[in-house]
Structure 1
């Protein structure tokens, strides 16, 4: 199990997603810890239980595979899903933000294939091709990779990359001379600047997951995880 990366309810993924830890093993470790450490460890276990529940969604096969490939930073992704960038916890805007994150991350945006399943009489089977290219069935997968949208997405990521360069230049803790290269040659942005095929980590980012590649950029220029998290929440790089 530890070599195959199979997840079960009685197993917990380690923080680095490298292998699985059995519950009995965790329980034995907790018996030797103080009360504060126990609460912290139990909280970590519950967080990974939440992740496992999320991955069990019927449409999340690609996300489960991305997890096995170690492309997603689940700790920061969980914080991002819970993050409220509005001034009030009950605003309509925050509800819309949360709805967008949920629908993107669970492949449930109202594309034509889903609308047809829910309203077959209103949207017949012969009208399900992509609204933009009109050549391929419109699905949540196709939505982000449609060739008619590529230029738009490329321009967005070029702008985000340049904005990130400017922001890091003013806020980075270290290696200021490497900022330009660390962004333009990262998996997240290189494809846009070099006109390459879109990288899988980009699709994950657009679906509201925080990728390890993006975190790696920030770790190259910030000294602490707290600084990285604060930067995420106060910059405009991650767009809802």
Structure 2
């Protein structure tokens, strides 16, 4: 049977599929396994935007990759997440560090009026990308 595709691209496609499967099998990513949500995710673009490279070996690359995955999985250390992890350590009354009004959740972090200029700049740069 002749190979109708560049073998290197074929192997890369197989490795990307294996990486996505391993990512989805992590317990923290179970929300992405819902079939209706799974169809909405463009994995090719997601891997490119997150610059996820399973072959990176530098510590800095892993740190950045970890940060990007935490963003995707709503695992940034917001006050809301920290309170869930250690309720005895974090005061329930703590609010957003920027606006001091609302609870600092993942969604609020991106919508907070005090950092909208920064968020808009990030979105603008992503559109150029």
Q: Same fold by TM (over 0.5)?
A: yes
Cα RMSD (Å) of the superposition?
3.8
Is this contact kept in 2: 1:57–1:106, CA < 8 A?
Answer: yes
Which residue, 87, 94, 97 being the options, matches 1:131? 97
What CA distance in whole angstroms lies between the structure 1 residues aligned with 2:64 and 2:126? 22
1:120 deviates by: 2.1
Give the structure-2-normalised TM-score.
Answer: 0.65
Aligned residue for 1:110? 77
Residues 1:81 and 2:68 are matched in the alignment: no
Pair 1:157 & 2:113 matched: no
Cα 1:52–1:100 shift into 2, 3 Å: closer
What SS class does the counterpart of residue 52 from structure 2 fall into? Answer: helix
Deviations 1:199-235 (A, max 9, x none): xxxxxxxxxxxxxxxxxxxxxxxxxxxxxxxxxxxxx
Residues matched between the structures, number: 120
Q: Determine whether 1:148 maps to 2:120.
A: no
Change in CA separation of 1:90 and 1:136 when aligned onto 2, cut-off 3 Å: same
Deviation at 1:111, TM superposition (A): 0.6
Instruction: Specify which structure has the higher proportion of helix.
Output: 2
Assess, with a 3 A threshold, how the Cα gap between structure 1 residues 53 and 144 changes in structure 2: closer, same or farther: same
Query: Are the counterparts in 1 of residues 19 and 54 from structure 2 also a CA contact under 8 Å?
Result: no
- Asked if 1:96 corresponds to 2:63, the answer is yes
Contact in 2 for aligned 1:60/1:107 (Cα 8 Å): no
Question: By how many angstroms is 1:52 displaced?
Answer: 4.2
**53-62 or 117-126, which deviates more:** 53-62
TM-score by length of structure 1 reads 0.39
Q: Which has the higher contact order (CA 8 A, sep 6+)?
A: 1
CA distance in 1, matches of 2:28, 2:89: 31
